[in-house]
Structure 1
Amino acid sequence: MCGRYTLLADELEILHEFDIEHPIDSYHTSFNIAPGQNVLAIIHNGKEKRAGFLRWGLVPSWAKDEKIGYKMINARSETAHEKPSFKRLMTQKRCLIIADSFYEWQKNDGQKQPKRISLQNRKVFAFAGLWDKWVDKDKTLFTCTVLTKEANPFMQEIHHRMPIILPKEREDEWIAPVKFRPEEANAFLRSVETEEMTAYDVGDYVNAAKNNDEMCIKPIA
């Protein structure tokens, strides 16, 4: 799964990296992004790419209660094209969720060791995501979920699942303003190759979502 991540790049770097023309309203960095928080995402509105914030934890448009979002921070890419919550979104509500590392907890002898994981050759990258709009009376939410897959050989020693990180050259293809059939979106995700990754141990400080400073990423021996 993917339950925590970081985004420490400055705004100009993100605008350049993802070819975004307009400034990002209320942009801020974070050492410890957690479910329920607003996260930076990029969509294509049919005319151009736009960057803005979505709440992490998908609330489908048909949901009766927004609390469902806390159970839907991730979507399994292998079955998303079949599930009612995600099938429609796979066709035309695809997004990039921007990050520069993510955390995972490695189980060892009953203990959980948090690790910070990033790409070896790219500083900023994008998770494949889905988004939706939910309206209830006078309340409107724009929310998202991170697509995941079985762990690659590097990640298998840490956790059995991992977020789908899109190759640079395939980011625009994922959010292109065209309708995919759900099966086509599934095939796209299955074709994504994983880049070289690196990881190091961090302290238990990161376990608490309220902690959000450099201590979260500080390496431990």
Structure 2
Amino acid sequence: MCWDISLHSDIEIVKRAFPKLRDERKQLDMNMYYHENVQAILFPNYPIIYRDKDSGDLALTEMEWGVLPGYIQDPKQQADRRRNMINIRSERVLEDRKSYWYRLRNQRCLIPVSGTYEHRKILGWSKKVPYYIAEKDRDIFYIPGLYQWHETVDADGVVEKVGSFGLMTRAANSVMQYIHNDGPNKHRMPLFLPRELEQQWLDDIAEPDMASVFAFEIPTDELAYYPVYTLRGYPERPDGKHRYEPFTWDGLPPLGNDDPKSVQGVLF
């Protein structure tokens, strides 16, 4: 389950990658997205790229992270269900034709990120170790997702058009399965794509082409990954560095070995 993402690079990189992109954002302060944790602020606003159905243009706008299940009327039940619609299992989009995701399959978007975060469990440690994960040699890359529009009405009767999106995930590759090694959704990872498949995701593609996108597994040597200091609810780093910079954890065993005692047995 991917609940933490970061966009700390210049948004102009996005505009260069998509030269005809129409900027519809209301919030222009990019520090807002330095670290987005969907648990800390439920359904936060975040910039995404989508294709406007009326004009056919690509647009950069803000939508709420977590698809709103409009088919549920009770507000509490709706919010509870929405917590499970933050991420989208790519396998369900085409394989389960009764799913909500199949209904949204042609409402595709890209989520620009500098990197994502995941936690690793170590035997005997009370806290999990956070890792930063990104695509090598890319200041910004794009995770595919699905989006929808809905209307809200405030206390004054003003109708507003609001968008919401979910982030696509897949089974973890051989590195990510060692990092995301615990929890009910362990051994999952965001659907990292190469540039050509990112661009294709926004095109008018048929279901077989969508299936090819879902089947892509990024090679481990194309990922950058390392431990960081902290993510949620902890104090700032003692060295004053940015949250996404590498941090050395004393006694941390190598990936694939989550028992510090076995490492100590080898060393001593």
Taking structure 1 as the reference length, the TM-score comes to: 0.86
State the percentage of identical aligned residues: 26
Counterpart position of 1:71: 84
Q: Is 1:164 aligned with 2:171?
A: no
- Looking at structure 1, the residues matched to 135 and 245 of structure 2 have their Cα atoms a distance apart, in angstroms, of 17
8 A contact 1:119–1:198 mirrored in 2: yes
| Offset at residue 100 of structure 1 (A) | 1.0
Counterpart position of 1:122: 138
Q: Is 1:154 aligned with 2:175?
A: yes
| Offset at residue 179 of structure 1 (A) | 6.3
| Offset at residue 121 of structure 1 (A) | 2.6
CA RMSD of aligned residues (A): 2.5
Q: Which has the larger radius of gyration?
A: 2
Counterpart position of 2:226: 200
Counterpart position of 1:189: 213
Counterpart position of 1:7: 7
- Looking at structure 1, the residues matched to 161 and 133 of structure 2 have their Cα atoms a distance apart, in angstroms, of 34
8 A contact 1:56–1:143 mirrored in 2: yes
Can you list the C-alpha shifts for 1:49-106, whole angstroms capped at 9, x where unaligned? Answer: 111111001113433245132221101111233152211111x101101101000001
Taking structure 2 as the reference length, the TM-score comes to: 0.72
Counterpart amino acid of 1:89?
L
Equivalent of 2:37, from 22, 29, 34?
34
| Offset at residue 186 of structure 1 (A) | 5.1
Specify the SS of the correspondent of 2:179.
coil
User: For structure 2, which runs of at least 5 residues remain unmatched after alignment?
Assistant: 154-158, 181-186, 249-268
8 A contact 2:5–2:36 mirrored in 1: yes
Q: 1:194 to 1:79 in 2, by over 3 A?
A: same
Counterpart position of 2:100: 85
| Offset at residue 191 of structure 1 (A) | 3.3
Structure having the larger proportion of residues in strand: 1
Can you list the C-alpha shifts for 1:128-148, whole angstroms capped at 9, x where unaligned? Answer: 100112235545431000110
Taking CA–CA contacts closer than 8 Å with sequence separation of 6 or more, which of the two structures ends up with the larger relative contact order? 1
User: For structure 1, which runs of at least 5 residues remain unmatched after alignment?
Assistant: none
Q: 1:185 to 1:56 in 2, by over 3 A?
A: farther
Counterpart amino acid of 2:218?
T
Specify the SS of the correspondent of 2:67.
coil
- Looking at structure 1, the residues matched to 101 and 8 of structure 2 have their Cα atoms a distance apart, in angstroms, of 29
